[in-house]
Structure 1
């Protein structure tokens, strides 16, 4: 079947040519029941009112086998015609099912990867409904990850958050997509982006019965390890507070991952050293580098020190980080570069004055306390608004109170 000839034929002629091509390839591969494929297609086309859904069903039946045998330009051209006919001739509901099935078949094997990738991308671009776009994207992601070529679809994932919010997927599909995106990004060495989607995935289990969280614990433990391994991730409270992560605390398999995450979320070098001494072999098996972890926990320890002091001596910092005083400025620069601490160093007095500092972890209780204080402030300022504002502004006190309540 010549690639160019299909564009010169009518829809009916093109689909018959495709049927003959598919039959030839299928029979050569041992599928002898496809010998009459073209004849069956022609019979359907003779009907007074052609049912294109039936035509596409018949012709596309051996498509998976054809792809595995000859995923070449001819097969790709045939695929494009099938998609065109599904869009222009078939019922929209059938088209969505047809696209989803094609995507599943194309992604089922890993030979002829370049052609298969192009076909999957084309399906996603042509798909119109949320559910079918989800299905095509899912198969595209799993396929490119399986062939170690996830980099090719990274440009598509920049819009993933927009798709997720607009598609309004059911909970099961949403979880599946978030985890698949995370795994694909990890395969593409996009560790921080992968981690963020993994946290989004785990957050979808907040209202699930704790007894049903067993299958998700492995993903939660992986997220804990990834949080520690990522060199530029210093705040992990959003992960630590998740229900499924808290379930790891008493789990015989994953409690060590929970404890490590807890240390990096809110504790210091002293706790890390004691913990690592007991469990170094376990975390070495998970490829958690002691050197990198030590560097990170020292920066976090310095952050905690700065959060609780207005001034620190070089000696105090050196003691807490277990380093020489000569290294203190280096560690402070690292904390500054990570945008965790802003401070002034007095090299003569060997003194550090803290300007501002990031709070490493806000517990749910602390957030509630902040909310309570804000409510108290709002209530306290109400009388002032009702007495002072009428004399100084055209805006009514009622309008200001409405803004405060927002």
Structure 2
């Protein structure tokens, strides 16, 4: 198929040489209708009649040898594209190509797909006929579970819709076809994604359209797929779609079941089964799968409601209605499902919640969040006060230490006599003789008298 939609994209060309009459006759030989075609082929005014007969006989292409199929199919495509209105012949031609040739059990499917994509690529990118050809390709891919072939082109679908100027109804049809291709190949998540895209094409303001049989059928299919999916655990995306919301009026029991899985718990699911006995089995749902999912969701709600972020094993056992010895197994399962993160404490018989996924986030959840934020803000404010107080204490201590150091330095200077004496009490010889004393002048000698005696 084409890589995408570009303004200047040119269709792929087939290299076919010859006049229309020559080529039509050659094609007639492949299809074993040469006697019908040859008399008409030379008359250009009967070209459309010739093409009608060739296309009608095109199913015989399945009988040509494998090595000749591509050449024969390309020739047939080239002739049809010469018609004044190719769209008259393309549906029948695509239907013929959609049947793999029996002579090639290994390559037959790919040969048929190549023929279909050649038709698609030969049509001008903005030509709405491409929509019909692409629909034929989707049906072919579905019948052969070839979603992987389709995946690389899905990103171009919105641009193609714009090029083809398709309305909501045509878009919805194609989205459903893509969902079917994905489902047939076992790609449940991709199937659900495109089913939601199809549901969003209904006019949210048109009550009659939302209540149509098609809208109800697609809405119920989406709800059923979401409930049975082992990986789809949050349901707000589904409940936000107007068609699904309308089930409250058209299918209230289904709407009630969806609400339970969206925001209620295991006990509510069991009450539902008691109230609507047999409903699960009658609607083709699997009660074991639903019970398992409901227990996982109940565990998530328990984690979200626990303000202490600590859940005792006993509380888990009661909420999930399981034996105490199974608590750790279910805890591991809910962590694997991505609904909660945390740590088991076997010693304390408790699960410590680190992170939890909210199943719904409404008024009550906003209030809980506001309460927690206020609590955190108070804690942070107290912590900030402590930090600031410690910073003040540290500065005061540093100032005291500096002052003490300055006093010691000043005391040392004053003890040295202001810096004038020779080296802190040491004499020249380097000995310390004790306290420094000023030298006394020598006394004059005198005679002693008798009185003094």
Structure 1 length-normalised TM: 0.73
1:23-62 Cα shifts (integer Å, max 9, x gaps): x34xxxxxxxx95422212221xxxxxx8xx73x333313
2:247 partner SS = coil
Query: Is the aligned partner of 1:80 residue 2:74?
Result: yes
Q: Distance in 2 between matches of 1:71 and 1:127?
A: 23
Query: Is the aligned partner of 1:241 residue 2:250?
Result: no
Question: Hey, what does 2:204 align to over in structure 1?
Answer: 207
Deviation at 1:280, TM superposition (A): 5.1
Alignment match of 1:152 (pick from 134, 146, 167)? 146
Deviation at 1:361, TM superposition (A): 2.3
Question: Hey, what does 1:18 align to over in structure 2?
Answer: 27
- In 2 relative to 1, CA 86–190 (structure 1 residues): closer, same or farther, beyond 3 Å? same
CA RMSD of aligned residues (A): 3.2
1:222-274 Cα shifts (integer Å, max 9, x gaps): 111110000111112111121111111122xx332222222111111111111
1:235 partner SS = coil
Deviation at 1:71, TM superposition (A): 1.9
Deviation at 1:221, TM superposition (A): 0.7
Q: Distance in 1 between matches of 2:274 and 2:231?
A: 24
Residue 312 of structure 2 contacts residue 351 of structure 2 at CA under 8 Å; is this kept in 1? yes
Q: Distance in 2 between matches of 1:67 and 1:85?
A: 12
Deviation at 1:184, TM superposition (A): 2.0
Deviation at 1:159, TM superposition (A): 2.3
Residue 63 of structure 2 contacts residue 101 of structure 2 at CA under 8 Å; is this kept in 1? no
Question: Hey, what does 2:281 align to over in structure 1?
Answer: 284
Q: Superposition pairs for residues 318-357 of structure 1, below 5 Å?
A: 318-357=317-356
Q: Distance in 2 between matches of 1:354 and 1:290?
A: 29
Structure 2: which 5+ residue stretches go unaligned? 1-13, 103-107, 371-453
Paired residues, number: 337
> Larger C-alpha radius of gyration, 1 or 2?
2
Deviation at 1:16, TM superposition (A): 2.2
Alignment match of 1:129 (pick from 125, 134, 145)? 125
Q: Distance in 1 between matches of 2:364 and 2:183?
A: 33
Structure 2 length-normalised TM: 0.66
- In 2 relative to 1, CA 238–366 (structure 1 residues): closer, same or farther, beyond 3 Å? farther
Q: Distance in 1 between matches of 2:35 and 2:277?
A: 64
Deviation at 1:84, TM superposition (A): 3.3
Q: Distance in 2 between matches of 1:97 and 1:285?
A: 45
Deviation at 1:77, TM superposition (A): 3.6
2:249 partner SS = coil
Q: Distance in 1 between matches of 2:140 and 2:331?
A: 45
Q: Distance in 2 between matches of 1:120 and 1:250?
A: 44
Q: Distance in 1 between matches of 2:342 and 2:200?
A: 35
Deviation at 1:278, TM superposition (A): 3.8
Query: Is the aligned partner of 1:163 residue 2:157?
Result: yes
Q: Superposition pairs for residues 249-398 of structure 1, below 5 Å?
A: 249-251=248-250, 254-279=251-276, 281-309=278-306, 310-362=309-361
Residue 58 of structure 2 contacts residue 93 of structure 2 at CA under 8 Å; is this kept in 1? no
Q: Distance in 1 between matches of 2:264 and 2:292?
A: 14
1:195 partner SS = helix
Question: Hey, what does 1:227 align to over in structure 2?
Answer: 226
- In 2 relative to 1, CA 102–238 (structure 1 residues): closer, same or farther, beyond 3 Å? same
Alignment match of 2:57 (pick from 45, 62, 66)? 66
- In 2 relative to 1, CA 153–312 (structure 1 residues): closer, same or farther, beyond 3 Å? closer
Residue 16 of structure 2 contacts residue 75 of structure 2 at CA under 8 Å; is this kept in 1? no
Deviation at 1:76, TM superposition (A): 5.5
Deviation at 1:366, TM superposition (A): 8.8
Q: Distance in 2 between matches of 1:86 and 1:65?
A: 12
Residue 298 of structure 2 contacts residue 320 of structure 2 at CA under 8 Å; is this kept in 1? yes
